[in-house]
Structure 1
Amino acid sequence: MPEIRFDGVSKSYGEIEVLPAFDMKLNDGEFTVLVGPSGCGKSTTLRMLAGLEDLSSGQILFDEKKISHLEPKDRDIAMVFQDYALYPHMNIAQNMSFALKLQKVPKPEIKKKVENVAEILGIHNLLTRKPGELSGGQRQRVAMGRAMVRDSSTFLFDEPLSNLDAKLRAKMRTELAEMRNTLNKNMVYVTHDQVEAMTLGDRIVVMANGLIQQQGSPEELFKSPANKFVAGFIGSPSMNFLDAFIVEESGDLIAKGEGFSLKLNPDMASIINTLSSKDVTLGIRPSCFELSQGNGDGVDEIKLTTVVSEYLGAQSVLVTRCCKQDVLVEVQSASPIPGGQEMTFSVKPEDIMMFDKKSGVRL
C-alpha cells in the first residue's frame, strides 16, 4: 500500500475557494477518517483523491509518485458511494464483477473473487438477486463487495452509512471494523458522524470551513483537543462551554461564572499569568459532573436545575440549566429523574479544559 500525501492541495470553483491550500499525509495501511460538519470540504478532498475532482493547485502523491494527472481507473483506488451506485438491471454477482470484466480478468478468477468476497460479507446467498430486491444494508454490503473484489491498494468511503437507520448503522460499523482488520489496505472514510469516526478510525482528521482543525488518534482528539471546535465536535454528548473569569483566592485559581465557582488545576497558573484577559471559556464534558451533597463552601460546586431527562436505562443524560445556559450532564440512574429538580454537582479541576474566549484555542 502506498503512503498518500497531499502537498499544497487546494480547490476553488471560479472565485469561490472551497479548500485553501493544505498538506496532509495518510500513512500506509491506516484507516483514516475525515470528519466534520456538512460543507467543510471532506467529500471534496476524497473526490480529489479519487480523481473525480480536479485540483486547483498542489499535488497528490502515492509513495512520492505524482498521481494528480492520472484518470480514476489508473489510480488503484476503489470507492464506495453514499447512494450505493448499483446497476439495477444486473444481479449482485454481475454488479460485483463489472469492473473486473472491464479489466478483462479471466472468468474463473472473477467467479472465485466474487464468491470469496461474498462469503466474507455474508451475501453469498444473494448473488442471483437484483439490487431492488435487497434491503439498504444488503445493498451497502454489495457496494463494499464491489470495491473489495478489485483488490485495490486504497479504499475510499463517502458517507456509506448515512442512508441507513440507527440500528443498521451500528451493525454496519461493526462489519466495517471487522473488514478493516481483515484487509490490510489503506482506507479513507468520510463522515459527519463523530461516533463513526471515533469507533472506526486509527486516525481522525477534523475539518471545518475547508481547514484541517486537528488530526490524531481518537484518544488524542478526545483528551487533548486543539481548540473549542474540536472539543465540541468530538465526544457524545458534546462538551459544555461556560464563560468564566479567572481570579485567585487564598492561593487557589478560581473560575467564576454566572451561577458557579470552580477550582482550576494549579498547573494552569503559568498559562493564566500570560493571558492579556482573564475572561476565558471553560470546557466540561457531561461525564465529568459528579453528584455532590452540597455541604462544602460552594467552590468546586455548581447548582443545576433539570429541564429534560433522557433516560437510557443504566444512565440518564440530563439537560439542565445554569442561570440562562443549558448544561448537559451524564449520571448513573436506576430510574428517570424528574424535571424541575435542583441538583448540586462537583467537577474535578483536572477535568476542566480552558479555551481562549476570542480565538477558541485551547490554553
Structure 2
Amino acid sequence: MPRITFDQVRKAYGTVEVLPPFDLALNDGEFTVLVGPSGCGKSTTLRMLAGLETLSGGEIYFDDKAISTLEPKERDIAMVFQDYALYPHMNIAKNMSFALRLARVSKSEIEEKVTRVANMLNIGHLLDRKPAELSGGQRQRVAMGRALVRDAGTFLFDEPLSNLDAKLRGKMRTELAEMRDTIDKNMVYVTHDQVEAMTLGERIVVMADGLIQQQGTPEELFKQPVNKFVAGFIGSPTMNFVDGELVDEKGQIWVRGDGFMLPLSAETSSRMKQGATKDVTVGLRPSSFSQDVTTGAPIELKVVVSEYLGAQSVLVTHCGAAEVLVETQSAAPVKSGTIQSFGVNTDEIMVFDKTSGLRL
C-alpha cells in the first residue's frame, strides 16, 4: 500500500481553474474521506487520482513514484462508482470476476476470491442472479465486491451510497465501517454527506470552492473547526450562527447580540483580548443548550416549532431575528409559541471573524 501525495496539483478546464494548486498526503492504510458541497472539487480530485482526469499542473506520487502519466490500469487501484456500472447480461459472479478474468487469473483462484468477498458482503447467495434481480443495496454490494476481489493497493469510492434510500444508507454505512476495520488497504471515499464522513473517516478532508478548508479526525473537525464553513458543515443538526459584538466588562469578555448576552470561557476570553476584532459571529451547537438554566449562562428563546424525533426533539427557536436550533430530550416536551429559558455551555461557544469567517 503506497503513501499517496498530491504535490501542487491543479485542475483547469480551459481558462477556468476549478482546483487551485494544493498539497495533500494520504497515509498508508488510512480511510480518508473527501467531503464538501456539490461542485467543491472532491470528485475531480478522486478522478485525477484514478487516472480518469488529467492534471493541469503538479504531480501525484505513490510513495516516491510519479503516476500522472500512468494509465488507470497501471495504478493498482480499484474504484466503486455512484451508478454501480454492472454488466446487465452477466450474473453476479461474472460481474465480480470480470477484471480477474481479463487478467487471466486461474479459475480456482477466481472462485476462491469471489466466494470469500461475496460472503464478507453477505451476497454469497446471489452469485447466480443478474443485476436486474437485485435491490439497490445488493447492487451496491456487488459493485464493492467487484473492486475488492482485485486486491488492489488503493480503493476509491465516488459517492457510492447517494442513490440509496435513507434506511439503506444507514445499513450500508455500518457495513462499510466493518469492512474498513477488516481490510488493511488505502481507501479514499468521496461524499457530500457529512454524516457519512463522520462515521466512516479516520481522516476527513473538508473542501469548498476547490480549496481544502481543513483536514483531521472527525473529533478535531467537530471540536476545533478553523473557520465558519467547517463549523457549519460538520455536525448534525448544523451549528447556529448569530451576529454579536465583544464587550469587556472588568476583565471578563462577553459577546452581546440581539436577544442575548453571554460570557466567554476563560480560554476563549484570553484569545479575544489579543485581537482587535469587535464585530463577530457567534457559533453555538444545538447540543450546547440545556433546559436546566443553572447549568450554564441563561438565554431566553421563543420556540417556533418543536420537531419530535423520538428520544430527542429539535426546537426551532428565535433569538431576536435569528433562527436558532436547540436539541432537547423528548421526555421534557416544549410547546410551540412559548418563550423558554435555557442554559448555554459557555465552554462550547465559538467566535468567528465576521468578515473572513476564520475562528478567533
Residue in 2 that maps onto 1:82: 82
Residue in 2 that maps onto 1:304: 301
Distance in 1 (alpha carbons) for counterparts of 2:229 and 2:197: 16
Q: Do 1:313 and 1:335's aligned partners in 2 also have CA atoms closer than 8 Å?
A: no
Identity %: 69
Distance in 2 (alpha carbons) for counterparts of 1:22 and 1:56: 12
- Shifted more, 306-315 versus 83-92: the winner is 306-315
Letter in 2 for 1:359: S
Residue in 2 that maps onto 1:321: 318
Q: Does 1:343 align with 2:316?
A: no
Residue in 1 that maps onto 2:140: 140
SS in 2 for 1:88: coil
Letter in 2 for 1:330: E
SS in 2 for 1:82: coil
Deviations 1:55-96 (A, max 9, x none): 000110001100111000110000000000001111101100
TM-score by length of 1: 0.97
Q: Do 1:311 and 1:335's aligned partners in 2 also have CA atoms closer than 8 Å?
A: no
Distance in 2 (alpha carbons) for counterparts of 1:337 and 1:301: 17
Distance in 1 (alpha carbons) for counterparts of 2:273 and 2:221: 26
Letter in 1 for 2:80: V
Q: Do 2:293 and 2:343's aligned partners in 1 also have CA atoms closer than 8 Å?
A: no
1:258, CA displacement in angstroms?
0.3
Residue in 1 that maps onto 2:263: 263
Residue in 2 that maps onto 1:151: 151
Distance in 1 (alpha carbons) for counterparts of 2:277 and 2:119: 62
Distance in 2 (alpha carbons) for counterparts of 1:275 and 1:75: 49
1:271, CA displacement in angstroms?
2.6
1:137, CA displacement in angstroms?
0.3
Q: Does 1:120 align with 2:117?
A: no
Distance in 2 (alpha carbons) for counterparts of 1:267 and 1:111: 60
Letter in 1 for 2:24: M
Residue in 2 that maps onto 1:94: 94
Q: Do 1:245 and 1:279's aligned partners in 2 also have CA atoms closer than 8 Å?
A: yes
Residue in 1 that maps onto 2:230: 230
1:103, CA displacement in angstroms?
0.7
Q: Does 1:281 align with 2:285?
A: no
Letter in 1 for 2:97: S
TM-score by length of 2: 0.97
Distance in 1 (alpha carbons) for counterparts of 2:301 and 2:321: 11
Q: Do 1:41 and 1:209's aligned partners in 2 also have CA atoms closer than 8 Å?
A: yes
When the two chains are superposed, the root-mean-square deviation of aligned CA atoms in Å is: 1.4
Residue in 2 that maps onto 1:200: 200
- Shifted more, 186-195 versus 101-110: the winner is 101-110
Distance in 2 (alpha carbons) for counterparts of 1:349 and 1:113: 54
1:187, CA displacement in angstroms?
0.2
1:324, CA displacement in angstroms?
1.2
Residue in 2 that maps onto 1:44: 44
Distance in 2 (alpha carbons) for counterparts of 1:91 and 1:300: 62
For structure 2, list consecutive stretches of 5 or more residues without a partner in the other structure. none
Q: Do 1:34 and 1:189's aligned partners in 2 also have CA atoms closer than 8 Å?
A: yes
Q: Does 1:213 align with 2:213?
A: yes
Letter in 1 for 2:96: M
SS in 2 for 1:33: strand
Letter in 2 for 1:348: N
Q: Do 2:123 and 2:138's aligned partners in 1 also have CA atoms closer than 8 Å?
A: yes
Deviations 1:197-244 (A, max 9, x none): 000000000000000000000010000001000000000001111111
Q: Do 1:255 and 1:263's aligned partners in 2 also have CA atoms closer than 8 Å?
A: yes
Residue in 2 that maps onto 1:361: 358
The alignment covers a number of residue pairs equal to: 360
SS in 2 for 1:19: strand
Letter in 2 for 1:81: F
- Shifted more, 53-62 versus 103-112: the winner is 103-112
Distance in 2 (alpha carbons) for counterparts of 1:124 and 1:292: 53
